[in-house]
Amino acid sequence: MLFYGLYVAGYWACVLLPRGFCYWVARRLADLYSSRAPVDREAVKRNLTVVLEREPSVHEVSEVFRHFGMYLVDFFRFSRLTPKKVRRWIRIEGVEYMEEALKAGKGAIGLSAHLGNFELAAAVLALLGFPVYAAVFVHQNPRVDAFFSRQRARVGVHAIPVRSKNQRALFEASLAALQKNGILALVGDRDFFGNGLELPFLGKTVRIPRGPAAFSLRTGAPIVPGFLVREENGTYLFMLQKPIIAPEGVSREEAVHRMTEQCVEAMSRMIRKYPTQWYLFQEFWRTGPVVIR
């Protein structure tokens, strides 16, 4: 009940108050939280150490929490987002890649990571007129889950609920989205089901989900990497990249491996470029199952 109340309060504050002021408050609250969350802060520090290949500064660690706070502000303000505002403060590059990918009528897989503002990326595509179906984990609190679903629906994003114990439902809903020539939006930097491929990611081996490659091979839908990141002047840059397509003349398993490697390369390149916008508050390369909070 506490978290639901905080989300509702955050929503109304962000809707009623100026965006710049909300960002300022979010950054201060992020500082307050990080100062009282030593476990999360240490996890962020360890992750950044791998990405930066050096020990991060105190400022760099704090910036991860601050960027996440601003990410929430934008999510809360979805009801105020319009196509006109998207074009005014979000610079979009490579939208032709997504348009071309959908011409075959087999849908497209929008690949992102827990980087920048992946929720806003899906919203932008939907507001530009693309049919977007985003795979999202179900929150344990039904009221919180309903709140998040309403926010996505406000901008035309269709949510595909992901439950760790019901992978079959995810599979069927994802196939249905692609059969409608929709965009299946997936984040590809966390293996929540424990059946991913072990691959080098930013210099260390970790399990990476095979889902994007597997769906692409099953349906013929190309994978279009896309990342929406905050720039220094406070605006956003949304970069859609050249599609990843299935290689010819190899086995299915080899094709999944090669395509997943290409996904890793796309994500790694962006994370190295924007390390303080990678929102992982658990040690990424630790062993054991991922904890969903």
E strand or H helix at 102, and its extent?
Answer: helix 95-102
Closest listed residue to residue 98, CA positions, set 116, 106, 110, 113: 110
Which positions ≥6 away from 30 have C-beta within 8 Å? Answer: 62, 65, 66, 68, 69
Measured distance CA(282)–CA(293) in Å, rounded? 10
User: pLDDT in tens for each of the 293 residues of the chain?
Assistant: 567 888 889 899 999 999 999 999 999 999 999 999 999 999 999 999 999 999 999 999 999 999 999 999 999 999 999 998 888 889 999 999 999 999 999 999 999 999 999 999 999 999 999 999 999 988 888 898 999 999 999 999 999 998 766 678 888 999 999 999 999 999 999 988 888 999 999 999 999 999 999 999 999 999 999 999 999 888 999 999 999 999 999 999 999 999 999 999 999 999 999 999 999 999 999 754 444 44
What is the pTM for the complete model shown? 0.93
Pairing of strands 132-137, 157-162: parallel
Measured distance CA(30)–CA(24) in Å, rounded? 10
Phi-psi region of 266 (alpha: psi -120 to 50; beta: other; left: phi over 0): alpha
CA distances from 142 to 1, 104, 148, 185, 269 (A): 10, 38, 10, 22, 36
What is the length of the chain? Answer: 293
Burial class of residue 129 in the structure, from the number of CB atoms within 10 Å of its CB (0-12 exposed, 13-18 middle, 19+ buried): exposed
Q: In what order do the strands lie in the sheet with 108-112?
A: 90-93, 236-240, 223-230, 108-112, 183-187, 132-137, 157-162
